[in-house]
Amino acid sequence: MLNPGSPRPRRLRKNDSVRNLVRETGVQAADLIQPLFVIDGDGRPEPIGSMPGQFRHTIAGLCQECRELFDLGIQAVALFPSLEASLKSPGGEESCNEQTLVLRAIRPLKEAVPDMQVVAHIALDPYTTHGHDGVLTPDGQDVDNDRSVEILSRMAVLNAGAGADFVAPSDMMDGRIQAIREALDEEGMSRCGIIAYSAKYNSAYYGPFRDAVGSSKAAGTTLLSKAGYQLDPANARQAERELVLDELEGADILMVKPAGPYLDIIRLARETTTLPVAAYQVSGEYAQIHAAAQMGWLDLKRCRDESLLAIKRAGADLILTYFARDVAATLRGA
């Protein structure tokens, strides 16, 4: 028997009402950003085999999807183009085509759902035949940092001009946040924000995403290794340096990617900056929860919700997650 007056923490866990009163962390629909994939054409959405419940949408389908997401309380989407192979090239020239797919998608999306915040993906991996986030050096052995930054800056201006509310450079090139901020401001686009992929790790969890955007054909080759610019999973101090630099260069929001395996980095980001912190629960995190649930090993909804709570508890203000729609529907009771 405990002595009278002994601590009894279970008093705060005795029933739902008490647990709800003292709950420290919650995930709301407005905290979530839904990543969406867009393709050309007029057909039905294409299911993505490695990502159950996710699709490549045509532009018309994308607009309808965003209407439904907004009605559920999702207030931001991140767009990723999936291009035909014929449009890809070593230099990724299609990225700066003023009629490229994602620009043609942003305009009608903003007309259909004006208050939906549109986040444009700024990197070259959907546009290059080699799948890298930038263009290669003449010898093909490395990514050319400065040439890539010039192209990324032009991409950012084009996406902002089409109506994107935020541009999100995911390339991890040195100096790209400052260059993009300057380019946007020079073009009179100072209202467009930057969500910087500040601590993006060279992770094994990106495979399904590369399948979704069609950059997976080089997967497993030496060429596609992104270790030369993405962060080493063993390192935290380098992440802190990247976070500090991106804030100094003009980022509005700092991001950690992936989320679940890097909760310590999310906490580091939260303690490093007063800017909002975003975290990207990536395709591999989503796929593994679905795969285990399909095998009957895990409860899908409980693991989904617990994974998001962990990311929020670690310090993320915003979460990019493929679960966004389902979570929002659950919160609405739909």
CB 140 within 8 A of CB 91: no
Which residues fall within 8 angstroms of residue 84, CB to CB, at 6 or more apart?
40
Torsion sign across C-alpha atoms 236, 238, 243, 244: positive
Q: Please give the helix or strand (H or E) that residue 256 lies within, else none.
A: strand 253-257
Q: Per the residue annotation, which of 88, 226, 257, 312 is the catalytic one?
A: 257
Tell me the residue type at 116: M
Active site residue 312: no
User: CA–CA separation, 80 vs 103, rounded Å?
Assistant: 11
Given 200, 226, 301, 312, the catalytic residue: 200
> Residue 47 belongs to what H/E stretch?
strand 46-47
CB 322 within 8 A of CB 209: no
Residue burial 252-273, b: 16+ Cβ < 10 Å; e: rest: bbbbbbbbbebbebbbbbbebb
Q: Catalytic positions, please?
A: 200, 257
